[in-house]
Amino acid sequence: MLKLSVNYFAKPGRREEFLRRIVEGSILAAIRAEEGCLRYDYYLSCQNEDEILLLEEWDTAEHQRIHMEQEHMKRLRVIKDDCIADTQLHKD
């Protein structure tokens, strides 16, 4: 099993837009439906209005690698470019 935690730091005032766009664009649903996806959940910081935590769990590293190549991930990258200032990835 592969576990990842990702800290996103939104551009000032853009956190809600980021979340709205990934839900309304059916990106989150598409990711959760991918083969090997066990968990893909976003959490909001109470201390920092621009911070988002993503917790991912995948059956294997290969499932996660394939996930990164999906068409909906290309759309997610566009949204991230618009709304996210910085990203920090941690493998658990």
24 CB contacts (<8 Å, ≥6 apart)? none
What is the edge-to-edge ordering of all strands in the sheet holding 2-10? 37-44, 51-58, 2-10, 84-91
Whole domain around residue 48: which residue ranges? 2-91
pTM: 0.93
CATH number at residue 10: 3.30.70.100
Query: Pick from 91, 62, 61, 74: which is nearest to 30 by CA?
Result: 74
| Confidence category of residue 92, pLDDT binned at 50, 70, 90 | confident
Q: Which amino acid appears at position 80 of this protein?
A: K
pLDDT per residue as tens digits for the range 4-57: 999 999 999 999 999 999 999 999 999 999 999 999 999 999 999 999 999 999
Q: Count of domains in the chain?
A: 1
